């Protein structure tokens, strides 16, 4: 395994912003010339932190499926938009620039995010083509293209169903100016990549309407989307297994564990 840690620094970045790689190395015994898709993981945390419960355990699951994984511990409050988004762009550029070294299929770079990390991933999905990102990381726009999104119970809307705290942390003093722009169901374009989304019906932290609004926006633009709404379970489940449960036991939801084999099948068609 190629496990490395890289400092990711753009204007406004926190000093502890890092990328952690979990790449399957090639072997002369198995697949000496192989290349693999890579999944960039953006943990949740309300833009106040990046949760361990939505990080390494997910990376290991994706590795077990045969994919490379990388975890971005992006900048959170007091860092504000577009810092984390620009950091994600820098990561996508880094992966494509090193695709040969790390055995990456540079045509299959998928961004995954949970909760507020889902907002970051979805923001990248709708904004990746905007010129300010390419300019900020000194590359061309096509180098930044995402090839798919995986969104776990994402924060999407700044409207009536908003997780207001996430937007306040993300936008700081520019909340009034930018909250409409960062309501992502209003920003989907024909260049938004195909998407896999799951949510739980009873989620009382980030209501399921967040995912529903994004799904409807994707459908209007004819973007392929696979969506699963589970009738049970709360917010922030991670894998929904004991591996990502809280110390008090919260987070184990057997009914929701099927998202893992479901996304495995979806990934085969990217």
Residue 240 near residue 61 (C-beta atoms within 8 A): no
The pLDDT of residue 22 is: 97
- Confidence class for position 27, pLDDT limits 50, 70, 90: confident
CATH number, domain 5-267: 3.40.50.1820
CB 161 within 8 A of CB 213: yes
Q: Say if residue 145's pLDDT is above 90.
A: yes
pLDDT band at 121 (very low <50, low <70, confident <90, very high): very high
User: What counts of helices (H) and strands (E) characterise the chain?
Assistant: 8, 8
Mean pLDDT of 101-105: 96
Average pLDDT over residues 160-178: 96
Cα 212–chain centre separation: 17
pLDDT at 86 over 90: yes
What percent of the chain shows pLDDT beyond 70? 100
Question: What does the domain layout of the chain look like in residue ranges?
Answer: 5-267
Reported pTM: 0.97
**Mean pLDDT across 138-160:** 97
* Cα–Cα distance for residue pair 33/71, rounded to 1 Å: 24
State the average pLDDT over residues 149-154: 98
Q: What is the pLDDT of residues 29-81, one digit of tens each?
A: 888 888 999 999 999 999 999 999 999 999 999 999 999 999 999 999 999 99
Q: What is the mean pLDDT of the chain?
A: 97
Rounded CA-CA distance 163/12 in Å is 24
Q: Can you give the pLDDT at residue 33?
A: 86
Task: Please give the Cα distance from 32 to 131 (Å, whole number).
Answer: 38
Note the maximum CA span of the chain: 57
Alpha-carbon distance 103 to 9, whole Å?
Answer: 24
Residue 32: the pLDDT is 85
State the residue for tokens 């798919």.
148
pLDDT band at 270 (very low <50, low <70, confident <90, very high): confident
User: What is the predicted pLDDT for the residue at 80?
Assistant: 97
DSSP 193: P
Residue 108: pLDDT band with limits 50, 70, 90: very high
CB atoms within 10 A of CB 103: 20
The pLDDT of residue 84 is: 98
């Amino acid at each position: 395994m190629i496990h490395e840690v890289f400092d990711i620094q753009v204007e406004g970045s926190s000093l502890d912003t890092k990328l952690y790689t979990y790449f399957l190395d090639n072997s002369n015994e198995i697949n000496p010339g192989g290349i693999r898709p890579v999944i960039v993981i953006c943990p949740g945390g309300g833009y106040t932190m990046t949760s361990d419960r939505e990080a390494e355990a997910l990376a290991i699951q994706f590795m077990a499926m045969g994919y490379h994984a990388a975890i971005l511990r992006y900048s959170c409050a007091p860092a504000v938009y577009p810092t984390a988004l620009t950091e994600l762009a820098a990561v996508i550029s880094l992966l494509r620039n090193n695709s040969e070294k790390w055995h990456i299929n540079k045509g299959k770079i998928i961004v995954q995010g949970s909760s507020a990390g889902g907002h970051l991933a979805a923001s990248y999905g709708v904004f990746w083509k905007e010129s300010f990102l390419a300019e900020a990381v000194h590359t061309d726009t096509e180098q930044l293209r995402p090839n798919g999104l995986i969104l776990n119970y994402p924060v999407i809307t700044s409207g009536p169903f908003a997780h207001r705290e996430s937007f306040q942390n993300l936008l700081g003093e520019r909340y009034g100016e930018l909250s409409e722009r960062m309501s992502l169901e209003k920003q989907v374009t024909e260049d938004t990549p195909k998407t896999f989304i799951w949510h739980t019906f009873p989620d009382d932290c980030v209501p399921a309407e967040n995912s529903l609004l994004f799904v409807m926006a994707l459908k209007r633009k004819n973007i392929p989307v696979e969506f699963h709404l589970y009738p049970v379970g709360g917010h922030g489940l991670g894998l929904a297994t004991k591996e990502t449960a809280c110390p008090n036991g919260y987070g184990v939801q057997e009914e929701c564990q099927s998202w893992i084999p479901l996304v495995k099948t979806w990934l085969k068609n990217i």
